[in-house]
Structure 1
């Protein structure tokens, strides 16, 4: 079952190119956010929101893992669907907890990432990915 979850879906060539652009483009944008948090963490700044009660430092570590680590995996197309799960969870927390009472404009950024991540979860990483090479 795990192998089926990780295996890329066969799509037309144009769709594979579109997924590559979407996967890499959104990951690079998210990588910016993750890198800023990682730099702060490595610089000794461990203050962070604790939206689901795990503690500030653990919340920061998990967010850096999702935004930085999983974005790199997604750029490569390596264990893509598994890498999308922490990203989706992080965007749900941002959308539904952090910005729960904020106007839509403040939620729009997280919602955009969430829509793309769910789409990639459904389509898979496409032909131009490490996953595709591994599961050919």
Structure 2
């Protein structure tokens, strides 16, 4: 069942290019957010929001894991669908909890990431990915 979940679906060649551009582009943008948080952590700054009540430090670690580590996996197209789950959860928390009471303009950035991540989860990583080579 896990192999079926991770296996990329066959797309037309033009769609494979589109998924590659979307996958790499959005992940590079998110990587900048995760990298900044990682740099703060390495400097000893462990302060972070605790929107779901699990503690500031754990929230920070999970966010860095999603925004930095999972973004690298999505860029490579390695375990793509599994890597998208933490990113989807993180952007859902930012959109609906952190900015839940805020106007749409304040949620828009996180919602844009969320929409792309859900789309990539449904399409898979495409032919130009490590996953495609692994599950040929």
Q: Same fold (TM over 0.5)?
A: yes
Spell out the pairing of 1:1-136 with structure 2 (5 A cutoff): 1-136=1-136
Distance of 1:102 and 1:43 partners within structure 2 = 31
Distance of 1:72 and 1:118 partners within structure 2 = 17
Distance of 1:116 and 1:9 partners within structure 2 = 17
Structure 1 residue 135 displacement after superposition: 0.1
Give the TM-score, by structure 2 length.
0.99
The runs of 5 or more residues in structure 1 that have no matched partner are none
CA RMSD for the aligned pairs? 0.3
Structure 1 residue 4 displacement after superposition: 0.4
Distance of 1:35 and 1:124 partners within structure 2 = 25
Give the TM-score, by structure 1 length.
0.99
Structure 1 residue 62 displacement after superposition: 0.2
The runs of 5 or more residues in structure 2 that have no matched partner are none
Structure 1 residue 116 displacement after superposition: 0.3
Structure 1 residue 100 displacement after superposition: 0.5
Structure 1 residue 96 displacement after superposition: 0.6
Please list the CA deviations of residues 86-106 of structure 1 after superposition, one character each: whole Å capped at 9, or x if unmatched: 000000000010001111111
Structure 1 residue 59 displacement after superposition: 0.2
Please list the CA deviations of residues 69-93 of structure 1 after superposition, one character each: whole Å capped at 9, or x if unmatched: 0000000000000000000000000
